[in-house]
Amino acid sequence: MTNFIKENLLFSIVLSFILLGNSIDLSAQHHPEGTIKVYPVESNELLLNPGIGFTTFQRFNGDTLNSKHKWTEGFPIEYQAFDGDLTNKNYPQTTIAYFRVNWRFLETGPGVYNWEMIDKALKTAADRGQTLMLRISPYEGVEDRDVPLWYRKLTGEKKSKKVRKWETDPENPAYVKYFGGMIAAMGQRYDGHPDLESVDVSFIGHWGEGTGTHLLTDKTRIALVNSYLDNFKKTHLLFQPLNGDAPNPEVLVKGTNIAAYWPDGTNNGTGSRMRHLGWRIDCLGDMNFWPQYDFTHMMDVYPEDIIRSGMKDAWKKTPIAMEICGTFFRWMEKQKYDKKTVEYIFNQALKWHISSFNAKSSAVPKEWGPLVEKWLKKMGYRFVLRKFTYPSEVKPQGQLLITTWWENKGVAPIYKDYTFAIRLKNKQRTEVITTSAKIKNWLPGDIVFDEKLYLPKDMPEGDYQLEIAIVDPVAHLPRVKLAIEGVTNDGWYKMGTIKCDKNAKVMVKNKSRFP
């Protein structure tokens, strides 16, 4: 090795240590232009954020879990006594409670609705720090979870035998009238409710999972889909064309206003009339659950049907929800999955851009706890602020020029209308200034956002703490935890100090950033 190479190698090593030391010790640097550059320290903390992560099922934060292998659904929630402790033992904390109840319990007579059942679930979820994910299933395959008794008497029909998992004839006009009418009434009452996370598009087959949807006439299928589309225009809708019970998933969305795009270049249409629906799958983890069949969901159904449904890119606009096949303990004790298999399943879910996961409120085996935590850190969105710049001083009514570089280390965007905001705070004044950032467009990867903001003209002179947060658009309270250090007790993140001074020098504009 020549002396020249040795000298340059030594210089590179020394320079690397200097740069590393600066990145650790210096969170903000003053520059001659009067700009302060901040490089926040990334946090590896597991974050509990809105709309992502595990859900509870027929339960809420703080409730006792289901047993290892069984769970409840279809019936109204049996509310447990609550002692004020929100901790979920052997189960992650959640921001979503999933409630799945059958039609007969909501519509107790023709056009007579038990709204109190949903009202109570919404309120309880909010009290436990959660929003409510909701499905009204049409029926199951047992008598006490059948279609409403009044509906059976009204139509005079016996249980349908055309399809094994049909308990009534969906082509009977009464079905669209009453089941579809119930969904319409529910949408008119709850669409846009702040505590309603999403609603499943569910109208046929046991548990509303869609068995035989491909056999419906276009008229009936579209009418039932439209009972959701026409009445839920604010709340996210999640569709389920991917469970294997209805072959040819592309048929299920054809002719509707659901945005879908197929590999051959065809689509359902474009423009403002098209609706972006998320989708859900209900058997994540089926590698060999039913050896008597010649398919598994993970290896045959999901990878292909996500493409065939035309909804491969739905995650860019609306959330993707998944549900465990069986329970974690079935995976471990009956299916004999090892950690490598579990990690494969989790990685497939990330590839499909999962935001939320229903593990049926059944405990996570201790051995798999680290795998679940690692998974949760990638599920949905995870915002890291990499760089933030701002001027060291600004005049009252002067420009506050900020530049930001973020990284979304998750697999999906955020789907809520939250706002990126700046807070200036000292003993005299607290001022929150909102930005125009469209954070719902912050897909995985790097995001650059720059903004010209202005201080109020009556801003008192003095030094202020400058903080940032993603807040709700009304009360301007922090709603999203960031994967960086430096959070205050009330959820804001410290960037540094800034001076408000009527004699402040005007920053020279960087034309490459601020035209």
* Pairwise pLDDT comparison (509 vs 191), residue with the higher score: 191
Q: Which of 467, 468, 420, 421 is nearest to 441 (CA)?
A: 420
**pLDDT computed for residue 506 by the predictor:** 59
Summarised one tens digit per residue, pLDDT across range 22-54 is 333 334 444 446 899 999 999 999 999 999 999
Q: Which residues contact 2 (CB under 8 A, 6 or more apart)?
A: none
Positive or negative: CA dihedral 252, 254, 258, 263: positive
Three-state secondary structure of 313-373: CHHHCCCCEEEECCCHHHHHHCCCCCHHHHHHHHHHHHHCCCCEEECCCECCCHHHHHHHH
CA distance 464 to 124: 40
Residues 282-290 have a mean pLDDT of 93
DSSP 384-447: EEEEEEEESEE-TT-EEEEEEEEEE-SSS---S--EEEEEEE-SS-EEEEE----GGG--SEEE
Give the whole-number percent of the chain exceeding pLDDT 70.
91
Q: What is the mean pLDDT of the chain?
A: 91
Domain extent listing, the chain? 1-25, 31-45+382-500, 57-315
CA 160 to chain centre: 37
Summarised one tens digit per residue, pLDDT across range 69-126 is 889 899 999 999 999 999 999 999 999 999 999 999 999 999 999 999 999 999 999 9
**pLDDT computed for residue 5 by the predictor:** 38
What band does 160 get if pLDDT is binned at 50, 70 and 90?
Answer: low
- Whether 508 shows a pLDDT value over 90: the answer reads no
Q: Which residues contact 512 (CB under 8 A, 6 or more apart)?
A: none
Q: Which residues contact 293 (CB under 8 A, 6 or more apart)?
A: none
Give strand pairing partners of 216. Answer: none
- CA distance to 192, 286, 491, per residue, from 124 (Å): 18, 32, 24
0.95 exceeded by pTM: no
**pLDDT computed for residue 86 by the predictor:** 96
Pick the CATH number of 57-315 from 3.40.50, 3.30.70, 3.20.20, 3.90.120: 3.20.20
* Pairwise pLDDT comparison (288 vs 243), residue with the higher score: 288
**pLDDT computed for residue 24 by the predictor:** 35
Give the whole-number percent of the chain exceeding pLDDT 90.
83
Q: Which CATH architecture has domain 31-45+382-500?
A: Sandwich (2.60)
- Whether 266 shows a pLDDT value over 70: the answer reads yes
What band does 507 get if pLDDT is binned at 50, 70 and 90?
Answer: low
